[in-house]
Every structure is written in C-alpha cells, then in structure tokens.
Amino acid sequence: MMKIKKLLKVSLLFTISALLLTGCKTSKQKEIRELSNYVDLSYEGANGSASTVVSFNKDKAYKSINSILKLKNDDEAEISKLNKLLDGFKIDVLNDNKKLKNGDVLKIEMEADDNLLKYFRLDLNKKQSVTVAGLKEPVEYDLFDGIDIEYKGYSPNLKVEIKKKDSQNKFASSINYNVLNPPPYYKGQTLKVKARYDKELARKAGYVIKDTVKNIDVPKELGYYVENLSEISSSFIYDKYYEGYDLINKERENIKNFIVSNLGKNSKLKDELSDPKIYIDSDIKIKPEDAFFSVSKGNLKTKELEKIGNKLTFIYRVEVTNKNYNFPIFYVTYEVESITKEKDGTFTKITGKLSSYDKYYDNILIGLANSIDRSYQTYRVENLEDMLKTEEGNNIENRGNTNDE
C-alpha cells in the first residue's frame, strides 16, 4: 500500500512538471506566432511635428516562425506559401501622421491573408493602439551659420559661391543659396542672399527654421581692377614703360624692313634706304597727352561682363633717318590691360600688347588719340610728366639713347 502511494506521488509531480513545461512552451510559441510582434515602429521629427515610420520586418518574422515550422529547403510549396503570407502583410496608421506629439494615441490596423494565417496556425491582432512618447523638443536651425563664401575674380566683376561647410549633414548639404542682387559684384557691396531648403528634411530632423534671407557684406580687402592711375605705383608704371620700350627695340629690324617696303617706292629712294639708320628717338619723353589710362565698365545689358577692365597705353615716337633724308615720324603703342591689385598690394593679371606698325604709320598724335576705342572712358594722365622728372624718369631718358650706326 505504501508503495502505491509513493508511485502516485511521483506520477503526480511528473504530470505537474510536464504541464508547467508545456505551458512555457505554449506561451513562447504564442509570442512567435503573433505577426504584429514583427512590426517596427519609430518616429521622425520633433514633438509637435513628428511622423511615424512603420514597417514589417519580414526577415525576422520568417526566421522566428520557421523555428517552429522547421521547414526544409526542399519544402518549396510550404516556403512559397509562407513567403506569400509575409509579403502580403499590410500596415495602416489611421491618424494624421505629420504633426504628432507626445501623448497622442496612434491607431494602427494590420491585415494578412486569413486562410494562410489559419494554415500556419498564426495569429494577428489586427487593431492596436500605441501612445506616442519620447519625442524631443524642436531645435532652431540657422541656415546661415557655418556657411563658406568664396569670391572668384576681381571687383567689380566678382563671382560669389556660397555653400554649407557641414556637408556630412544630409539636411545641410541640401541647402541652396542664391544672391538676389544682379551681377556683377564688387568689394564692399551688401549682398542679399536667400537660402532654399527641403522642408520635409527639416521636419524629419526636428529643425525649426528662423530666417531664409540675410544681408552679407562683401569684404573690402579683395583683389580688384584698378580704376584710377593714383592706385598704381610709379615703379609699376616705369616697369611697364621699360617693357614696351624693350619690345620695340627688339623689333628694330622689322621696323626697318617695314619702312623700306613702304617708302622705297622708286629705285633711287630704295637704294638710299637700303641701309637706313633706325632708332627709337633718344629724346623720348612720355608727355601728358602721350599716355592714356582708361576703364571699361562692360555692358550689363548684353552680359559682356568680361569687358570690365582697364588699359594703360604708352605711346613711343619712332623715326627713321639716313644720310640725306628724314622720313615721317610714326608712333607705336604698348597697351597694358587688365591691371588688377591684390589685397596684399601686388599687381597681377596684366597683359601687354604692342601695336602693329601699319596701324599707326604716318599718324599724327591727334589721329592716334582718336583711334582709341571709344567704348572706353578715356582719361589723360596729367602727372606722368612730373613723375618723369624724378631720378627714375631720368633713367628712362638715358635708356632711350640707343642710336645705331
């Protein structure tokens, strides 16, 4: 009798333990079999302007469910049915999904194929409510903070490029800047800049935008096209004078040939000119009427902005003589264009051009002055003559004494 009682006790304990174990397994399987547990819910944006991002994690669902079903690779029909079920899973958020705040209650509906749910003995709680929580407060974002402004070219023909330094930030890299003032731009000018941004990206990032337009001053310490001769150093003027002078000296043989071909119209004269003495007048002086400094503002109507620049013109008198004849004087010009002054005071972007002989041959000085392009506003340089009376000016006159036999 005692043995029977002991056997009953052992059997009862075994049954209770088995029931407990079975209960745990059922609870775990129930959690796995509930498809709504594979729905991921997150938020974009700040408190008061947030939206939900809802998605169904198919990979996680398949892996978990298959841990119960134990489908093998050759169970193609079963695998196909399970994929069809999971691929057809639908989620819908019934609330306004753009202006959510903490405390709002989201109503979510889910849908799946009922026949396949029954086939795999899966569950789906189709209607659920979720309370919104954990949203951060919005942050004010300055569109013009941390911008990088690059000025290209020379005033008053500057080009402006503006961009955000923080290019790693998706929202920052999407901002575009436009200068509302019409080009060209010049140093010291106040630019009105408008920023355009992606409103949806700003909302998702939780940003509140304050100002979209801002005034920005162009620095005064930028390179510019020289507009007044007083801005150019006297040493620069002398250097350019020497430069043109040396170029003419190198052309002496060509000048001789030009004179012979144009003046030697008869054989007698041609013979006498066969070995002329050609020289740049040793008494060269750049008088006020012999040098011009001009500035072109360009034509904004036709967008020919590249014409903005300047020109410093030196005029050299050239004379040809031989034993018996003095032939007409003609003039050669050396034009120095695009003189720009950098912020460190140096001069750059300078081009020089020597005129052709035939263009100015046998022209009097007035004719030469009239031949200057009238699209330029031309000024006569009144202070050069006084400048040439200095020690540097005397050196110019001495260099001009280069008579060849």
pLDDT, tens digit (0-9, with 9 covering 90-100), for 336-375: 888 899 988 888 888 888 876 654 444 433 344 444 443 3
Q: Is residue 10 part of a domain?
A: no
Alpha-carbon gap, residue 312 to 383, rounded angstroms: 14
In terms of residue numbers, what domain contains 123? 28-131
Q: Are residues 266 and 206 in the same domain?
A: no
Q: Are residues 170 and 111 in the same domain?
A: no
pLDDT given for residue 136 in this prediction: 94
Q: Is residue 17 part of a domain?
A: no
* Pick from 101, 106, 99, 113: nearest CA to 128: 106
* Pick from 64, 43, 67, 46: nearest CA to 55: 43
Q: Which segment, 65-79, 161-175, 362-376, 386-400, is predicted with the most confidence on average?
A: 65-79
Residue 403 and residue 276 in contact, taking contact as beta carbons nearer than 8 Å: no
Q: Is residue 18 part of a domain?
A: no
Last residue of a domain, one of 198, 220, 242: 220
Alpha-carbon gap, residue 5 to 2, rounded angstroms: 5
Q: Are residues 231 and 317 in the same domain?
A: yes
Residue 47 and residue 136 in contact, taking contact as beta carbons nearer than 8 Å: yes
Report the largest interatomic distance among the alpha carbons of the chain, rounded to a whole angstrom: 164
Q: Is residue 274 scored above 80 in pLDDT?
A: no
Q: Is residue 1 part of a domain?
A: no
Higher pLDDT among residues 238 and 66, named by residue: 66
Q: Is residue 171 part of a domain?
A: yes
Q: Are residues 114 and 154 in the same domain?
A: no
Q: Are residues 151 and 182 in the same domain?
A: yes
Peptide bond into 138 cis (omega under 30): no
Amino acid code (one letter) for 85: L
Q: Are residues 319 and 248 in the same domain?
A: yes
Higher pLDDT among residues 254 and 44, named by residue: 44
Q: Is residue 11 part of a domain?
A: no
CB-based burial of residue 206 (10 Å sphere; 0-12 exposed, 13-18 middle, 19+ buried)?
buried
- pLDDT band, residue 222 (cuts 50/70/90): very high
Alpha-carbon gap, residue 191 to 116, rounded angstroms: 66
Q: How far apart are the first and last CA of the chain?
A: 154
Alpha-carbon gap, residue 283 to 401, rounded angstroms: 7
Query: Between the CA atoms of 41, 42, 45 and 51, what dihedral angle is there, to the nearest 10 degrees?
Result: -10
Q: What percent of the chain has pLDDT over 90?
A: 35
What is the pTM assigned to this prediction? Answer: 0.63
Angle between helices 252-263 and 234-250 (to 10 degrees): 60
Q: Is residue 117 part of a domain?
A: yes
Least confident of 283-297, 321-335, 342-356: 283-297
Q: Are residues 233 and 379 in the same domain?
A: yes
- pLDDT band, residue 325 (cuts 50/70/90): low
Q: Are residues 190 and 267 in the same domain?
A: no
Phi, psi of 378 (to 5 degrees): -100, 135
HSE-CB of 58 using CA atoms within 13 angstroms: 11
* Pick from 187, 181, 180: nearest CA to 218: 187
Q: Are residues 358 and 234 in the same domain?
A: yes
Domain count, the chain: 3
Q: Are residues 114 and 51 in the same domain?
A: yes
Q: Is residue 116 part of a domain?
A: yes
Q: Are residues 292 and 258 in the same domain?
A: yes
Q: Are residues 68 and 126 in the same domain?
A: yes
Last residue of a domain, one of 96, 131, 166: 131
Last residue of a domain, one of 177, 202, 220: 220
